[in-house]
Amino acid sequence: MTSISFTGSNSGMSGILSKLTTNEQTRLTPVKAQQTLYKNRGKAFDTLKSALEKLNTAAEALTKASSINKTSVSSTNTAFTATTDSKATNGNYIVEVKTLATVQSLISGEFASNTAKQGSATENNTRTLTISQPGQDKQLEIKLTDDQTSLVGIRDAINKANGNVGASIIKVDDDTYYLSITAKNTGTDAKMTISVTGDDTLNSKLNYTSDTGAGSGAMTQQTAAQNASIKLNGMTIGRQSNTISDAIDGVTLTLKSQTATNSSETLSIASDIEPMKTAVQNYVDAYNALQTTIGTLTKYTKLDPGSHAQSTSNGVLLGNSTVRGIQTSLKIQISSAQSGMDISTLNEMGVKQNHKTGMLEIDSDKLTTALTDNSSQVSDFFVGDGKTTGYATQVTNYLDNVLDSSRGAIQTAKDSIAATLKTINKAYDRTQQSIEDTIARYKAQFAQLDKLISKMNSNNDSLTTRLAALNKKVVNGESH
């Protein structure tokens, strides 16, 4: 007799559950796609930020154009040395050093001791040593006690006052001493007039009055105060100091010696434009690299005829308003003129924008000419007032705002992406939980079905056994 049987999970239900699970997991596909998209957008803004930081670094270098745009002294001079800054320009100058600036030095009369008191005793134990100089707004007034009227006491009091004069003692032998008082500054504005009030005795030993000659008084002029005098391209120029920094723009002369009578030296100033050319090139390279980065991140691939899906090769920031705004602002700054400047645009110094590619291009000859002939104007164009004007100053101001770590456009965009990604991740978690709940429900239903089939199979086995026994009885009955 043929038996009746029912098939359970072992005959295909596990395969069905596997297929159902795979089908449920497809619900995560669009969520994963959104996760990938926004993660890539976050990485794209990191890439954009890096390119902007490099451009900002290059722009900041140009804000220091006054120290980058250099000139140098190409001549060899013996009567003077010369240094230059960014305001110096190419040129040759005929220099004749007529006189050197000197400091005035006074010497006292002879004293037998450097420690013996030289003044008279006073009732209030004080007198005032006064030293005046035309170039000083205030006289140097030094209070001396009776114990401070020795040469040592006077010297120490003068030096301790830290004025524009210094004092020293000259020892000839054990019984011969002199007090020397010397101006600290060169030139006639440092001429000294000395007096002592409150002690006629000491005044009679130290007084001195300067005039146009050797002066008069108890002290004697050893070295006269003298101004520096030079002839520059035939014009006589006098200064209080041997350092002359205001005769030629951007050039500081330090006088060393007089030139021979009726002779002169040639000072030659040459431009050293290579550091500035490098700084401009670095900025152009950084700007062009930024444009390439933006081009990649916002790339658009034209759809094929009949296609409705966007190309997967499109940039992840295609159409992003933040990127578009940054790119537009930088382009506007390139074309905007700096008001009131001799050089007002990049184009005027040989840096122009290719209107087809958006890239900056350098006319090397034009840039070299601008840096050689108009170095200070180039510096003014880039630096301006260092606050709100000047091309490089304005670019760094703008990029500093864009790159601000708390409120900048890049950080704002990244924060928005992070918030959206957080929402997507929650949606992913909810979907994943729903899938797990559905699969758990399927498993429970399949378990119940498996139990039912097992019970049916058990009942089937019992019925089969009984039928077999009945069949045997029937057969045996027939045989008897």
Q: Give the pLDDT score at 2.
A: 45
Higher pLDDT, 90 or 200: 200
* DSSP states of 130-165: EEE-TT-SS-EEEEE-GGG-SHHHHHHHHHHHT-SE
Nearest to 278 by CA among 72, 85, 70, 84: 70
Q: Give the pLDDT score at 164.
A: 97
Higher pLDDT, 5 or 230: 230
CB 111 within 8 A of CB 178: yes
Whether pLDDT at 311 is above 80: no
Residue 5 pLDDT grade (very low, low, confident, very high; cuts 50, 70, 90): very low
Residues facing 229 on adjacent strands: 99, 238
Whether pLDDT at 8 is above 50: no
Residue 304 pLDDT grade (very low, low, confident, very high; cuts 50, 70, 90): low
235-279 pLDDT, tens digit per residue, is 999 999 999 999 999 899 999 999 998 899 999 998 788 899 999
Q: Give the pLDDT score at 307.
A: 63
The full length of the chain comes to 480
- CB count within 10 Å of CB 88 equals 24
Whether pLDDT at 9 is above 60: no
At 270, which helix (H) or strand (E)? strand 265-272
75-129 pLDDT, tens digit per residue, is 999 999 999 887 788 889 999 999 999 999 999 999 999 999 999 999 899 999 9
Percentage of residues in the chain having pLDDT higher than 90: 69
Where are any strands of DSSP class E within 359-456?
Answer: 360-362
d(CA 149, CA 202): 8
Q: Give the pLDDT score at 71.
A: 81
Average pLDDT over residues 186-207: 97
Point out the least confidently predicted range of 4-13, 219-228, 287-296.
4-13
318-332 pLDDT, tens digit per residue, is 989 999 999 999 999
Give φ, ψ of 243 to 5 degrees. Answer: -100, 115
In 3-state terms, what secondary structure has residue 442? Answer: helix
378-435 pLDDT, tens digit per residue, is 999 999 999 999 999 999 999 999 999 999 999 999 999 999 999 999 998 998 898 8
Q: Give the pLDDT score at 42.
A: 93
Nearest to 244 by CA among 98, 76, 75: 98
Higher pLDDT, 263 or 466: 263
